[in-house]
Amino acid sequence: MVYTFVIKSTDKISGDNNNGTYSINFRILPDEVKYYNIHYTFYTAPSFYYDHIDSSDDIVNLCGNGYIECNLPFTKSAQTNGSPTKLLGNWVRQVDNNADVGGGSVTAICYLQSVNGTTNVPRTISRPYTEILNVSVYNSFSNNLMTDTETNGTLTDDMTSWILTLNLEPVFEDIL
């Protein structure tokens, strides 16, 4: 059996899309299962996410890739060698050069995506006992929280909405 949790950035109880807090009912997980293999997908709503180079040819912002952190209990993970981490995985920008937004074509529209197994390695977590999940999305260029851009590359205050699907598959053997 796989337990699936769908988290929408629009359902946050506090924070922004790039750094929000969510109420998740992890109580449905069986108490007797200590570990779960976690598989996930992450997709943002389409937007610009453009790179920006100023008039002096200095790179101001790159939106090509980044990472997602959360407070799931990765500390017992065999994949992390027992080292604590908040890293869920990495995301990459996808570009659609044939986008049609609101009836008008644009040169390129982007979205951010992450799928473990393709852009990330499989992970194992301990059973979560908290019902509060913090999700933060970062930009690797600046190591700051991710923000969208205007059509000219100017940074906005937040990022577009997103959907994160967590699939937790019970591990029925002691992995440590």
pLDDT at residue 106 tops 50: no
Percentage of the chain lying above the pLDDT 70 cut: 81
pLDDT score, position 82: 52
Domain ranges in the chain are: 3-171
User: How many angstroms separate the CA atoms of 63 and 66, rounded?
Assistant: 8
Instruction: Select the highest-mean-pLDDT range: 26-30, 45-49, 85-89, 172-176.
Output: 26-30
Rounded average pLDDT over 41-53? 87
CB 149 within 8 A of CB 155: yes
CA–CA–CA angle 105, 151, 111 (5° rounding): 75
**Higher pLDDT pick, 35 / 82:** 35
What's this model's pTM, rounded to 2 decimal places? 0.86
pLDDT digits (tens, 9 = 90+) for 132-167: 999 999 999 999 999 998 887 789 999 999 999 999
pLDDT band at 112 (very low <50, low <70, confident <90, very high): confident
* Cβ-based neighbour number of residue 156 at 10 Å: 12
